[in-house]
Amino acid sequence: MTAMTTPAETLTQLDIDAEDSKYLIRSPVEILFILRAVAQRNAMVALHFSNGNDFILTSILDIDSDAGELVMDYGDNQKLSQQALSEDKLVCTTVHDQVKVQFACNGLRKIRYNGKDAFGARLPDALLRVQRRENFRVATPETKPLKCIITLPPGHSPATAEVMLLDISCGGMAVVDHHPKVALDPGTTYPKCRLELPGIGTIAFAMRVQESFPHTLKNGLTCKRAGCEFISMPESMGAMVQRYIIQLERERNARLRA
C-alpha cells in the first residue's frame, strides 16, 4: 500500500493557518471515530478540487481501518468525477455534530464497490475540526423554527426569501436553506434582512455569509448550512438578540429542572 502523506504535506493541502492549527486532530482513533460517525449518518461530503473552484457532493460508503482506506460515492457527474481523479490536491468538507470538518483526500482513484463505481482514497492522517466560539451560541427552537427574511437583489421574483435558523449568537447565526434563489456562498452579503424574535421583537440588519457546506437534516434531506455574521446591526437590536439568547437559556434550564 502507498505510504501515507507526512503531516507537512497534509497541512499544505488543507492550507491551515496558525490560528486553525490548534483544531487539527492527529489521533487515528479520533479520526476514525469522526469519519465513522459521518458515514453512519450518511452526511454529505463536498470533495473540492481545482483550487476550490469545483466540487462533487459525495458521501462515505465504507471505512477499512486495517487497510487505511475509505470508500466514497462516485457521484452523478461523470465529467467532474474524471476531473477529480486527475487532480493532485483534493480536500473533503463535511459536518460532525454541527461542526465543520475538513481533511485532505489523498490517493483518490476509481474502484468498484458493491457492483458500482466508487472513489477509493487513503484515510487521512490529520483532520481539521474547527469550532470557534468567540460568541456564546444557543440552538434555536426546532418545533417552531425562526426564519430570517432576506431581501434579494433587484430583479428577483419573489423579492424576498426565507432561511431557517439553527442557532444564534450576538455575532451571527447558522442557517439552512432550501430556497434556490439564495446564494449562501462565503463572502456574499445581504444588506436587508429581518428576523422576528419571539417575545422580544423584530430586528433588521445586514449579514455576511462566512462559510457554507452541505448539511443533512434529521429527515434525510440535504440542504446548505451557512454560518452568517451580523454586520451594520444597531446597538439596540444587538441588545435584543442578547435578551433573546438569555430567554432561550432560561427556557432550556426550566425544561431541565422539570
The model's pLDDT over 140-181, given as tens digits with 9 standing for 90+, comes to: 988 889 999 999 888 777 888 899 999 998 889 999 876 566
Examine residue 2 and state whether it is found in any structural domain, yes or no.
Answer: no
pTM reported for the whole predicted model:
0.51
User: 21 and 112 share a domain?
Assistant: yes
User: 11 and 123 share a domain?
Assistant: yes
User: 93 and 201 share a domain?
Assistant: no
Task: Outline where DSSP puts E strands in the chain.
Answer: 24-25, 45-49, 54-58, 60-64, 69-73, 91-96, 99-104, 106-113, 116-122, 127-130, 138-139, 147-151, 160-168, 172-177, 189-197, 201-216, 222-231
Quick one: average pLDDT of 43-50?
88
Examine residue 1 and state whether it is found in any structural domain, yes or no.
Answer: no
Examine residue 69 and state whether it is found in any structural domain, yes or no.
Answer: yes
Q: Quick one: pLDDT at residue 181? A: 63
pLDDT digits (tens, 9 = 90+) for 166-222: 999 888 999 987 656 677 888 899 999 999 999 999 999 999 998 887 777 666 667
User: 101 and 123 share a domain?
Assistant: yes
Domain edge (last residue) among 67, 102, 130? 130
Number of domains in the chain: 2
User: 185 and 106 share a domain?
Assistant: no
- Asked if residues 25 and 125 have their Cβ atoms less than 8 Å apart, the reply is no
CA atoms within 13 A on the CB side of 217: 14
Look up residue 20 and give its three cell numbers. 486553525
Examine residue 32 and state whether it is found in any structural domain, yes or no.
Answer: yes
- Asked if residues 191 and 209 have their Cβ atoms less than 8 Å apart, the reply is no
Domain edge (last residue) among 95, 130, 165? 130
Average pLDDT for the chain: 83
Q: Which CATH number is 214's domain given? A: 2.40.10.220
- Tell me the residue range of the domain where 225 lies: 138-257
User: 98 and 35 share a domain?
Assistant: yes
Q: Which CATH number is 87's domain given? A: 2.30.110.10
pLDDT digits (tens, 9 = 90+) for 48-103: 888 767 888 899 999 999 999 999 999 788 899 999 999 988 999 988 776 788 99
Look up residue 79 and give its three cell numbers. 465529467
Residues 6+ apart with CB under 8 A from 254: none
Examine residue 191 and state whether it is found in any structural domain, yes or no.
Answer: yes
CA distance 242 to 26: 37
- Residues written for the chain: 258
CA atoms within 13 A on the CB side of 205: 25
- pLDDT exceeds 50 at position 7: no
User: 124 and 161 share a domain?
Assistant: no
Pseudo-torsion of CA 52, 48, 161, 208, nearest 10°? -50
Domain edge (last residue) among 130, 155, 176? 130
User: 150 and 85 share a domain?
Assistant: no
Q: Quick one: pLDDT at residue 11? A: 37
Residue 108's pLDDT band (cuts 50, 70, 90): very high
